Amino acid sequence: MTIENFKDLINRVTAIQSYLKIDEKRMHLKEAELKTQDPSFWNDPKKAEEQMKAIRILKY
């Protein structure tokens, strides 16, 4: 692999990350995980389970 090929690959990966909004999804995942640490998180089990499902979807 040449340096030019490597630079092209980096540009493509960056474009894909931007298109898929990976940074935005990572930030949303961190925020969602922080909510689970709230002592009152499980006070509403249905809402908590929905939040956990959303976290699983974001992770995978």
pTM of this prediction? 0.70
CB 55 within 8 A of CB 32: yes
Check residues 60 and 32 and name the one with the higher pLDDT. 32
Residue 1 has pLDDT above 90, yes or no: no
- The domain of 47 spans 22-60
Q: Domain tally for the chain?
A: 1
Residue 32 lies in a domain: yes
Rounded Cα distance between 49 and 53, Å, is: 6
Residue-wise pLDDT for 4-45, tens only, equals 999 999 999 999 999 999 999 999 999 999 999 999 999 999
Return the pLDDT at 13. Answer: 97
How far apart CA 38 and CA 49 sit, in angstroms, is: 14
Whether 11 is covered by a domain: the verdict is no
